[in-house]
Amino acid sequence: MTARPDAGRNVDAAPELDAAEVGRIFREESGRSVAALIRVFGDIDVAEDAVQEAFIVALRKWASDGLPPNPGGWITTTARNLAIDRLRRESRGRELLSELAVLSSGNGDPSLPEEVGPVQDDRLRLIFTCCHPALSRDSQVALTLRLLGGLSTEEVARSFLVAEATMAQRLVRAKRKIKAARIPYRVPEQHELLDRLHPVLAVVYLLYNAGVANPAEPDLCSEAVRLARILATLMPDEPEVAGLLALLLLTESRRASRTRSDGTLVLLGEQDRRRWDRAMIEEGQAIVRRCLRRNQPGVYQLQAAINAVHADAATIEQTDWSQIVALYDQLLAVAPTHVVALNRAIAIGEVRGPAAALALVDELALDNYYAFHATRADLLRRLGRNGEAAAAYKHAAALAPTDAERDFLRLGGRASRLSNG
Amino acid sequence: MAQYLLSVHSVEGEVREPMTEQEMQQSWKQVGILEKEMMSAGAWVFSGRLHEPDTATVVRVANGEVLTTDGPFVESKDHLGGFYIIEARDLDAALAWASRVTAAIKVPIEVRPFAAVGAVDDALAAQSPGDRKA
């Protein structure tokens, strides 16, 4: 299955059900249904096929009867019944069903078509399976978008600029490994949770950043925020999960002001702050405050806190840079990377001036990182060393990962605070 | 339950932190304890350590005749030094044993599932409806 059900058909017959609405329901609900059916049938392909088929049935039925009161529940129940019907027709399926009957002897006959209530944990099980450390990061990302996000293979491929056939193969291989190696479908126990949570959060964060770099349909930024929200609902006691949601909300709040209509980047200091989304900022800041009270800092919480400080300032000049430096000190302590050190140096430049920042920046081994050269260029320019600044801009532009960033640097744009934009 | 091969790969001539006599003793002791634990947990199926690859012999049939050659099948710097076959509930359980083996012997372990258990199902799965789509 390479595409979502054709949402355009039959819409004329029932004007109350429009294509966008069915598309939205699919995006919202398919992950939940797929997760529930994997639990019931123990097989990802069976679950995916059945949910897909259920949406095709739904398009027809809803067009004539209107939306059921609980579309998600309707889809899950219908998909389950469709899967059972199909399995009964296949010999391998009958074996699978009899195995299920043995396994779930406590719950009665699983082939009885009853209402399937979504178990709260199903999507959580699914994301831990998708992001199992035995799968490559590329596979983790693809599986998460496909199974949990309800994106078609074609959409997943497009969002990572990969050929559809390549993506299809990646997904098939990953699902085969899950099955053959028996990657479990369960939420890790408390003592393993911290290790296992790391790739889950990394995947969602990567999705967001991929969305920033490639602003195309499907909208990966919104998808990442939605996934972070699901995780935060499912794991309310994990501070880093809350931290990730806050970080994404606070970053996403600046979306409208982040790029010009021609796609070029606008620096944090030059953004029209009136266009920042106040509702997202308030939600993000409230989460940051709760994290501070909990006092178990981690990389996502600290980055969220830094963004919360930016969100507080009405203008770039009013930014509480010493607060930001203090947060970067903490961040550097938990994540001692050169990229963090670079961002900390930029903040120090705002407090103690460009010479102090440049001294710190020049100690970093980031020669292949465009933001390193962009930062140097800006600091050199502020110190009046224009020849060196021009060379650094040129160097940065050559390394820039996206056209928007490249154009920006070619114009000799000021690069400080770029990373916070 | 499923079975997994935990294989220990050694790389010829690879510079490894040489173990002292005492560390060697310690490592053997840990492996001994670990294997006993595997057995009492019902996880141990078989294990063994192999001689160097230059002790290997390959036989093959060519033109209806059995041909015997001296040396390993593949000339490679990387060779199988030893292995465990274990029984485990799922990959996480297998990885947990593998992590303890690698901690004791300080060499990476490859974990690979056997296709034998429920062979028919697995073989079907490998070429089945799943391949039609992703």
Residue B125 has pLDDT above 80, yes or no: no
Q: pLDDT of A384-409, one tens digit each?
A: 999 999 999 998 888 877 776 777 76
Place A334 in a pLDDT band, splitting at 50, 70 and 90. Answer: very high
Q: How far apart are CA A27 and CA B7, in angstroms?
A: 42
Place B24 in a pLDDT band, splitting at 50, 70 and 90. Answer: confident
> For residue B132, what are its two tokens?
């039609």
Kindly list the residues from chain B whose CB atom is less than 8 angstroms away from the CB atom of residue A184.
89-92
pLDDT at A259: 84
Cα separation of the two ends of chain B: 27
pLDDT at A14: 44
pLDDT at A306: 97
Place A101 in a pLDDT band, splitting at 50, 70 and 90. Answer: low
Name the residue with tokens 């058909």: A9
CB contact under 8 A, B91 and A49: no
- CB contact, 8 Å: A169 with chain B? yes
pLDDT at B134: 38
Kindly list the residues from chain A whose CB atom is less than 8 angstroms away from the CB atom of residue B111.
181
b/e for A282-297, b at 16 or more Cβ within 10 A?
ebbbebbeebeeeeeb
Inter-residue contact A187 to A124 (CB < 8 Å) = yes
Residue A7 has pLDDT above 80, yes or no: no
pLDDT at A107: 43
CATH superfamily of B2-50+79-124: Dimeric alpha+beta barrel (3.30.70.1060)
Angle, to 10 degrees, between the axis of helix B21-40 and the axis of helix B91-105? 160
How far is B127 from chain A, CA to nearest CA, in Å?
Answer: 10
Residue A130 has pLDDT above 50, yes or no: yes
pLDDT at A210: 83
Backbone conformation region of residue B71, classed left if phi is above 0, alpha if psi is from -120 to 50, else beta = left
Q: How far apart are CA B14 and CA B55, in angstroms?
A: 19
CB contact under 8 A, B91 and A170: no
Inter-residue contact A153 to A146 (CB < 8 Å) = yes
Place A94 in a pLDDT band, splitting at 50, 70 and 90. Answer: confident
* Phi, psi dihedral angles at A76 (to 5 degrees): -60, -45
Nearest CA in chain B to A181: B113
How far is A26 from chain B, CA to nearest CA, in Å?
Answer: 18
Q: How far apart are CA B8 and CA B97, in angstroms?
A: 13
How far is B129 from chain A, CA to nearest CA, in Å?
Answer: 8
pLDDT at A26: 85
How far is B60 from chain A, CA to nearest CA, in Å?
Answer: 30
Domain boundary (A88, A118, A148) is at: A118
Residue A3 has pLDDT above 50, yes or no: no
ipTM of the complex: 0.79
pLDDT at A279: 97
Domain boundaries, given as residue ranges, for chain B: 2-50+79-124
- CB contact, 8 Å: A175 with chain B? yes
Name the residue with tokens 């028919």: B120
Place A252 in a pLDDT band, splitting at 50, 70 and 90. Answer: very high
Q: How far apart are CA A406 and CA A401, in angstroms?
A: 7
- Comparison of pLDDT for A169 and A121, the residue scoring more: A169
CB contact under 8 A, B134 and A49: no
Range of the domain at A410: 337-421
b/e for B57-90, b at 16 or more Cβ within 10 A?
eeeeeeeeeeeeeeebeeeeeebebbbbbbbbeb
pLDDT at B21: 86
Q: Provide, rounded to the nearest whole percent, the portion of chain A with pLDDT above 70.
A: 86
Residue B14 has pLDDT above 80, yes or no: no
Q: pLDDT of B73-113, one tens digit each?
A: 888 888 899 999 999 999 999 999 999 999 998 889 999 99
pLDDT at B116: 64
Residue A170 has pLDDT above 80, yes or no: yes
Residue A297 has pLDDT above 90, yes or no: yes
- Comparison of pLDDT for A384 and B132, the residue scoring more: A384
Inter-residue contact A182 to B118 (CB < 8 Å) = no
Strands lying side by side in the sheet with B78-88 = B44-49, B78-88, B2-11, B109-113
In the predicted model, what is the mean pLDDT of chain A?
85
Residue A166 has pLDDT above 60, yes or no: yes
Place A416 in a pLDDT band, splitting at 50, 70 and 90. Answer: very low
- CB contact, 8 Å: B118 with chain A? no
Total domains in chain A come to 2
- CB contact, 8 Å: A87 with chain B? no
Q: Provide the 3-class DSSP secondary structure of residue A55.
A: helix
- Comparison of pLDDT for B27 and A113, the residue scoring more: B27
CA distances from A290 to A125, A238, A285, A305 (A): 26, 12, 9, 11
Residue A249 has pLDDT above 60, yes or no: yes
Residue B128 has pLDDT above 50, yes or no: no
Kindly list the residues from chain A whose CB atom is less than 8 angstroms away from the CB atom of residue B5.
none
Inter-residue contact B94 to B4 (CB < 8 Å) = yes
Place A117 in a pLDDT band, splitting at 50, 70 and 90. Answer: very low
Q: pLDDT of A262-280, one tens digit each?
A: 777 788 888 999 999 999 9
> For residue A352, what are its two tokens?
């103690």
pLDDT at A181: 94
**Tally of CB atoms within 10 A around B113:** 21
Place A110 in a pLDDT band, splitting at 50, 70 and 90. Answer: very low
How far is B131 from chain A, CA to nearest CA, in Å?
Answer: 7
Residue A289 has pLDDT above 70, yes or no: yes
CB contact under 8 A, B133 and A132: no
pLDDT at A158: 84
Inter-residue contact B88 to A181 (CB < 8 Å) = no
pLDDT at A243: 97
Instruction: Assess if residue A199 is contained within a domain.
Output: no
How far is A396 from chain B, CA to nearest CA, in Å?
Answer: 39
Length of chain B: 134
- CB contact, 8 Å: A3 with chain B? no
- CB contact, 8 Å: A1 with chain B? yes
Residue B124 has pLDDT above 90, yes or no: no
Instruction: Assess if residue A113 is contained within a domain.
Output: yes
- CB contact, 8 Å: B57 with chain A? no
Write the residue in B95, B111, B130 that is nearest to A172 by C-beta.
Answer: B130
Residue A11 DSSP symbol: T
Write the residue in A1, A132, A184 that is nearest to B133 by C-beta.
Answer: A1
H or E element that contains A242:
helix A239-252
pLDDT at B17: 67
